[in-house]
Structure formats: structure tokens, C-alpha cells
Amino acid sequence: MEEMHPVEAVIAAADDAINREDIDAVMECYAEHAVLVVRPGMHAVGKGQIRQALMAIAEHFAHTLMVEQLTMEVLDSGNTALVVALTRISAKGMEPVDRKAIYVFERGSNGRWLCTIDNSYGHELLEGVHA
């Protein structure tokens, strides 16, 4: 059996905190300069904006948001990790939505992995964009 990458543990902790609506615990998973894709065309930059966005997201989903990683692959290159994941988003009164998410993590000098880019929309950001 393959050993879990430390980033997978951070993601699992973040998902658990989101599901419990423990914003403080979720924030522990983000780097100070992180970017959260709130929705295509709207980004929260830095922990202050991310905290506000997470509170608004919880309100939008009537405090019933549930997040689950169905599968993920971690590509690790030293102190940077790219995660591609199949993420399921659900809430009371809505059909579950599966997204092909992309996350980027950095390992700090203390060895701790923190999320720097949280993009649960993945390539959906490109929809409607013409090259």
C-alpha cells in the first residue's frame, strides 16, 4: 500500500474543517499569500480575503456545505506540490457536483505544507476564454 503524501493529510484536514464549518482550522491550511478561486472570475487573495470568502460560501450554501476528495494525485517537486483531484461538492437541497480541482502547495522552512492556490474549478476557468 502506497504511503499518503503529507499534502493529502493537509487536504483531508481542510475538508474536515470545511465540513464542520471551522473557519479557523481551514485557515491554518493556507499560506499568507494564498489565492482561492471563489468562482470563475472571482479570486480571494491573502488570508483576510480568503476568510471572508469562506464565510460567504458557508452562508451561500446555508451552512450545509460538504467537500470530499474522491481521488487525487500529488506531484511533488521538492518544496512545491501540484495536486489534481476529483472533488465532490454537496449541500442540502442540491445535487452533488464533481469538479476536477487543481491545488498548489508549498513546503515552508519548518517542513509544513500550506496551500498557495486553491482552484476547485480546475480547467473550468478556461470556459468561454478564446485563445
Q: Within 13 Å, how many C-alpha atoms sit on residue 55's CB side?
A: 7
- C-alpha cell at position 57: 460560501
Domains of the chain and any CATH numbers: 6-109 (3.10.450.50)
By C-alpha distance, which of 62, 57, 31 is closest to 42?
57
User: So what's the pLDDT on residue 1?
Assistant: 60
User: So what's the pLDDT on residue 126?
Assistant: 83
The answer to whether residues 83 and 74 touch, using CB atoms and an 8 Å cutoff, is yes
Q: pLDDT digits over 60-95, tens only?
A: 999 999 999 999 999 999 999 999 999 999 999 999
Mean pLDDT within 14-37: 98
DSSP 3-state percent helix, strand, coil across the chain (nearest 5): 30, 40, 25
Q: What percent of the chain has pLDDT over 90?
A: 89
Q: pLDDT digits over 103-128, tens only?
A: 999 999 999 999 999 999 998 888 76
* pLDDT beyond 90 at 3: no
According to DSSP, residue 125 is labeled: G
User: So what's the pLDDT on residue 125?
Assistant: 84
14: confidence class by pLDDT, cuts 50, 70, 90 = very high
